[in-house]
């Protein structure tokens, strides 16, 4: 999907804005607020779509439903995807956005503090259905994996002590603390594992959906053209360590120059 090129000049379409149907997480606006990786990635992607003269039609959806809908060509794009070898067989991806890893979390009163202390035979871990975390939970040896298409259900089950652990993105877990915890403590959970599979957030589309691939390609070109702009830098400045975040993102984007169709 990507090829190294020289200077790219991106020309905005002169026609009226086109629409893109894109799935996002349920409760999207709160995820944007709570999660640095999700929120910053979304703001960058949204700016690039605007630059490419697209209007994004958001469709909040579970992860399982999002993947099915894009594979059935019922939506153009899925936002919030991590690139994996399995997905690369059927999907095309946006330029990399903000890094996100996955980790195992539990409530503060759980005496377990390290992965090696987890009772893999009897503990119950919650994951989003058809997610990378579900695959990792199986590989790590968990015998009791509760998989569902509803992320809010997992949060409620953990709160009600029907789950012992959650396996989610390392910054997405902040959504739980802001919206489901009984206290105002933003650190309402503790991480009890290493960070697994660190990768950038992406948007993806079905590789054999030529119309959607073309739309994503135009967004990639717009994003690349914006990479040094003050408008884009201003988005990063909304976050702590903005210079480090921006320089890391710029390095990743420069390594994957988008191909012009």
Distance between CA atoms of residues 58 and 5, nearest Å: 32
**How far is residue 22's CA from residue 149's CA, in Å, rounded to a whole number?**
18
pLDDT in tens, 198-249: 889 999 999 999 999 999 999 999 999 999 999 999 999 999 999 999 999 9
Distance CA 31, CA 35 (A): 6
pLDDT at 23 over 50: yes
Is residue 9 predicted with pLDDT exceeding 80?
Answer: no
Among 207, 261, 237, 250, which residue's Cα sits nearest to residue 96? 250
Dihedral sign of CA atoms 114, 118, 123, 126 in order? positive
| b/e map 204-231, b = 16+ CB within 10 Å | bbbeebeebbebbbbbbbbbbbbbeeee
pLDDT exceeds 50 at position 10? no
Other Cβ atoms less than 10 A from the Cβ of 36: the count is 19
Domain ranges of the chain: 18-99+200-254, 101-197
Structure confidence by residue, pLDDT tens digits, 50-64: 999 999 999 999 898
Global confidence as pTM: 0.83
pLDDT of residue 173: 80
Query: At 8, is the pLDDT very low, low, confident or very high (cuts 50, 70, 90)?
Result: very low
Band of residue 182 on the pLDDT scale cut at 50, 70, 90: low
Cα separation values, 83 from 192, 203, 209, Å: 24, 9, 18
- List Cβ neighbours of 243 (8 Å cut-off, separation of 6 or more): 236
Which pLDDT tens digit goes with each residue over 68-117? 999 999 999 999 999 989 999 999 999 999 999 999 999 999 999 999 99
Note the pLDDT tens digit of each residue in 172-181: 788 877 877 6
Can you state the percent helix, strand and coil of the chain, rounding each to 5?
40, 25, 40
User: What average pLDDT does this structure show over 154-164?
Assistant: 91
What is d(CA 70, CA 33) in angstroms, rounded to the nearest whole number? 25
Establish whether domains 18-99+200-254 and 101-197 are of one fold.
yes
pLDDT of residue 148: 92
Contact residues for 54 (Cβ-Cβ < 8 A; gap 6+): 17, 18, 19, 20, 215, 218, 219
- Residue 231 phi, psi (nearest 5): -60, -40
Spell out the CATH class of 18-99+200-254.
Answer: alpha beta
CATH class of 101-197: alpha beta
Q: What is the tens place of the pLDDT at every residue in 110-158? A: 999 999 999 999 999 999 988 889 999 999 999 999 999 887 889 889 9
22's enclosing H/E stretch is strand 18-24
């Amino acid at each position: 999907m990507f090829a190294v090129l020289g200077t790219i000049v991106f020309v905005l379409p002169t026609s009226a804005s086109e629409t893109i149907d894109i799935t996002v997480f349920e409760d999207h606006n709160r995820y944007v607020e709570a999660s640095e990786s999700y929120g910053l990635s979304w703001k960058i992607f949204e700016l690039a779509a605007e630059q490419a003269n697209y209007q994004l039609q958001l469709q909040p959806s579970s992860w399982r439903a999002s993947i099915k809908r894009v594979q059935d060509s019922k939506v153009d794009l899925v936002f919030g995807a991590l690139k994996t070898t399995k997905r690369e067989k059927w999907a095309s991806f946006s330029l990399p956005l903000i890094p996100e890893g996955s980790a195992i979390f539990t409530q503060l009163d759980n005496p377990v503090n390290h992965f090696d202390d987890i009772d893999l035979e009897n503990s119950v871990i919650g994951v989003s259905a058809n997610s990378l975390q579900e695959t990792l939970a199986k590989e790590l040896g968990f015998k009791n994996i509760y998989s569902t298409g509803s992320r809010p259900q997992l949060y409620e089950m953990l709160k009600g002590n029907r789950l012992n652990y959650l396996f989610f993105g390392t910054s997405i877990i902040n959504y739980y603390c802001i919206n489901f915890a009984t206290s105002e403590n933003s650190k309402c959970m503790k991480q009890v594992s290493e960070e697994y599979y660190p990768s950038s957030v992406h948007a993806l589309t079905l590789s054999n959906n030529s119309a959607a691939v073309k739309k994503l390609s135009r967004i990639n070109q717009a994003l690349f053209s914006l990479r040094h702009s003050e408008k884009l830098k201003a988005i990063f400045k909304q976050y702590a360590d903005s210079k480090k975040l921006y320089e890391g993102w710029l390095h990743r984007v420069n390594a994957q120059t988008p191909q012009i169709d």
